[in-house]
Amino acid sequence: AQSVTQLDSQVPVFEEAPVELRCNYSSSVSVYLFWYVQYPNQGLQLLLKYLSGSTLVKGINGFEAEFNKSQTSFHLRKPSVHISDTAEYFCAVSVLSGGYNKLIFGAGTRLAVHP
């Protein structure tokens, strides 16, 4: 069965420092990969996605992620974070299951940016 593991439940970081949020997935077939951001009491907003092609994917708000097939990872990075990046981040994988594309989510990583 496919699964997504976000290795850190919480990541504290100072403003303007770099950050990496880690995501590993288990799947024996080709997958599509996503990172979503959720601000308190709001829905999820897509940050970036990997469907095919270049393994380095750039998203909104200065985030990027690198797809590593051999390590089954899709880590999210930002070179310099802002206070406004404080939120919960979810990694997700889309797999074909029962005739439809199913999104499987990780448990989330809470990013806390401190001044």
Partner 1 sequence: DGGITQSPKYLFRKEGQNVTLSCEQNLNHDAMYWYRQDPGQGLRLIYYSQIVNDFQKGDIAEGYSVSREKKESFPLTVTSAQKNPTAFYLCASKMDNEQFFGPGTRLTVL
Interacting residue ranges for partner 1, rule: CB under 8 A:
4, 9, 32, 34, 36, 41-46, 49, 51, 90, 94, 98, 100-103, 105-108
10 close to 110: Cβ distance less than 8 angstroms: yes
Residues in Cβ contact with 68 at an 8 Å cutoff, skipping those fewer than 6 apart: 55, 74, 75
- Residue 1 or 115 having the CB closest to partner 1: 1
- Residue 72 or 109 having the CB closest to partner 1: 109
- Residue 45 or 84 having the CB closest to partner 1: 45
Residues of the chain by 3-state class (helix, strand, coil), percent to 5? 5, 60, 35
Report in angstroms how near the CB of residue 79 gets to partner 1 at its nearest.
25
Report in angstroms how near the CB of residue 115 gets to partner 1 at its nearest.
26
What are the structure tokens assigned to 2, written together?
């496919």
